[in-house]
Amino acid sequence: MTLSALCLPQMQPDNAHAETAGVETEAAQFDALLATHAARIMRSAPEWATQMGVSEDVAGTGFQSHLSAYSPQANAEVAELLDQSAAELAAIDRSKLSTRRQISYDVLSYAYNIAQRQNRFGKGQPSVLLANPPYAVNQLFGPQIDIPRLLIAQQPVRSEAEARAWLSRASELSRVLDELAAMTEADARRGVIPPWFALEAIAKSATSFTEKPESEHPIMAAFGEKLEVIKDLDDAKRASLQSEALTILSSQIYPAYRRFGARMAALVPAAGRDAGLWRMKDGAAMYRVALEAYGANGLSPDEIHQIGLGDVDRIHGQMDKILKAHGYSNGSIGERMAALAKDPEYLIPDTDESKAELITKLQSDVDRILALAPQWFLDVPEYKVEVRRIPVHEQDASSGGYYTPPPLDGSRPGIFWINMKNAADIPTYTLKSLVMHEAVPGHHFQAAKSLSITDLPLIQNMMWFGDYGEGWALYAEELAKEMGMYEGDDLGNLGRLRMELYRAARLVVDTGIHDKKWSHDRAIDYMVGVTGESRDSITREIERYAVWPGQAASYKLGMIQFLRLRKKAETVLGDRFDIREFHDVALRDGSMPMKILEMRINAWIAEKRREK
């Protein structure tokens, strides 16, 4: 689906002083409508409300005490909510809105359209914004992973009342796990079943969750730490609350995880040995919707596949020169990169001490980049960002790293989570690019800038467009070279190219798995061959792409668009081009599809050309 298919008109000049009473009424109605839409979503998904840091006025009284429902009835209600919201938005006269509101209108219209198209397939969890993966559960994320993480790191406990809300929410986790298992089993009976490796990983993760004695579980440790900061809580009350938490964990949550793991393991024989969407009814159509959600902009799976193959060849050419300069001349790029990765000088010892040192090193890289940022950005976000290790009980099923943004109220920092299971999978010469992508000026700058926009509707802060978000983060990796991060550091630049190569290869394997019927092993063999990464690391990546169709393509598709738009602005504006202004325009209106950002960049270029 292209932009024209959504019938998004060109942005109109903003002239607030000339607004008529009718226009003002339309604007007020629009603002109220978007607030209503956000509240609907928050009230149906209270965990999301906690992550966003909103108040009870938005999410409903007592929302911190509850979890979402995962029943067929709840799913139908979510789909109906989406249809109602889309119809209400369509009734707004867009032409009477200011430029900022037109952007919000276009972004939301796009998101609703994608979600409605996905929901028509009736697979997985229904979406209210953009698209969800096709399965009710997967090994990467979902209630079985996200809710414990929420209880440990995100839910506030600043009073006895909030402690009891925490306990109430924790007590609902067993219900959620049972509902999630039932949904997955029902989907499987209709032929919508996660790949065998996903089910095995989910079952293994559930078993891992219950390995430690209940009293030693991270949930108990986190709750105890939260209680310690409540100043007016006496020792007896604190002990009583901890005892209640332990009872919930031992009598409800642990048994629920054991049931959940057993039910997932029981589905493995029915999963077969293929992983692509092509194996399902409507699989080809589902994949095209997924690709559109992540930035295809009308490109076919085959066109994306060919772009990936071409980019792999281009990047290999650049890597070849650096490798030869450092004595690595024999073999394919993948073979030479694999040999370099075995050099002890660039390996991280697999010890807790070394892993802690790595976290410190990454945090220092964040600080260094922040010091350079004012030369490249008009505004450096005030929200802090920290580097943390992915909890041990999550690392088997997690990717190499990911970022979680701060809440609206700034009560938590943005966090770059890094997987330390196999430390040798992270050569030291890749660390600069890793920081640039996940933290600054990648995901953290993007998220923090969005959160700092005072008049950005809440519902826009809830949306994430992969081509924009991941495209920006990959663009940020290349920006590191311009910022001087690789001066005198050829291998650091090789690490940057290694990361870009990874994303180009993703275009090939994502389309290979879901469109060209590649087997699990073929996808792994290809990516190991072109990148030289370890088979274990690539296997985790391929298994991620299999359960999250299209998402892996968003990085490179988005980066291509950012570079194209910047080149266009530089060419048209010449000496008037200011990189800080370009970055400001790219970030200042929040997450959006790249086609809508292109309209914003075009408007900025036109405005700059009119300046004397």
The residue count for the chain: 612
**Are the C-beta atoms of residues 527 and 533 closer than 8 Å to each other?**
yes
Provide the token pair at 316.
């290999």
The residue behind tokens 């296997």 is 539
β-bridge pairing 401-404 and 385-389:
unpaired
CA–CA separation, 169 and 177 (whole Å): 13
Specify the DSSP class assigned to residue 268: G
Phi, psi (degrees; rounded to nearest 5) at 330: -105, 140
Q: What is the pLDDT of residues 107-160, one digit of tens each?
A: 999 999 999 999 999 888 888 888 889 999 999 999 999 999 999 999 999 999
Which band of pLDDT confidence, cut at 50, 70 and 90, is reported for residue 83? Answer: very high
The residue behind tokens 């066109």 is 303
Region 56-60 average pLDDT: 95
pLDDT number for residue 10 = 40
| Percent of the chain predicted with pLDDT > 90 | 78
Does the pLDDT of residue 491 top 70, yes or no? yes
CA–CA separation, 255 and 219 (whole Å): 15
- Which residues are within 8 A (CB) of 202 and not within 5 positions of it... i.e. 6 or more apart? 137, 138, 139, 144, 194, 261, 264, 397
Which band of pLDDT confidence, cut at 50, 70 and 90, is reported for residue 8? Answer: very low
Does the pLDDT of residue 18 top 60, yes or no? no
CA–CA separation, 37 and 115 (whole Å): 14
Provide the token pair at 61.
């009284």
For residue 434, how many C-alpha atoms fall within 13 Å in the half-sphere facing its CB? 24
CA–CA separation, 439 and 446 (whole Å): 9
pLDDT number for residue 400 = 76
Task: Please state the separation of Cα 84 from the chain's center in Å.
Answer: 26
CA–CA separation, 267 and 264 (whole Å): 5
Return the number of other C-beta atoms located less than 10 Å from residue 3's C-beta: 17
Nearest to 277, CA basis, from 488, 547, 565: 547
pLDDT number for residue 334 = 98
Which band of pLDDT confidence, cut at 50, 70 and 90, is reported for residue 3? Answer: very low
- Considering 73-87, 426-440, 515-529, the range whose residues carry the highest mean pLDDT is 515-529
Name which residue leads in pLDDT, 400 or 60: 60
Is residue 532 left, alpha or beta, with left meaning phi > 0 and alpha meaning psi from -120 to 50? left
Which band of pLDDT confidence, cut at 50, 70 and 90, is reported for residue 612? Answer: low
Burial class (CB in 10 A: 0-12, 13-18, 19+), 437: buried
Q: Give me the long-range contacts of 179-182 (CB less than 8 A, separation at least 24).
A: 179/69, 179/70, 179/71, 180/70, 180/136, 180/137, 180/142, 180/143, 180/144, 180/260, 181/137, 181/259, 181/260, 181/263, 181/264
- Which residues are within 8 A (CB) of 99 and not within 5 positions of it... i.e. 6 or more apart? 11, 12, 13, 14, 603
Q: What is the pLDDT of residues 502-554, one digit of tens each?
A: 999 999 999 999 999 999 999 999 999 999 998 998 999 999 999 999 999 99
Q: What is the pLDDT of residues 368-411, one digit of tens each?
A: 899 999 999 999 988 999 999 998 878 876 777 888 999 878 88
Burial code of 317-328, b = ≥16 C-beta within 10 A, e = fewer? ebbeebbeeeeb
| Percent of the chain predicted with pLDDT > 70 | 96
Does the pLDDT of residue 13 top 50, yes or no? no
The residue behind tokens 């281009």 is 314
Amino acid making up residue 392: V
Average pLDDT of the chain, as a whole number: 92
Cis bond leading into 441, ω under 30°? yes
Does the pLDDT of residue 279 top 90, yes or no? yes
pLDDT number for residue 365 = 87
Does the pLDDT of residue 216 top 70, yes or no? yes
Nearest to 393, CA basis, from 257, 250, 268: 257
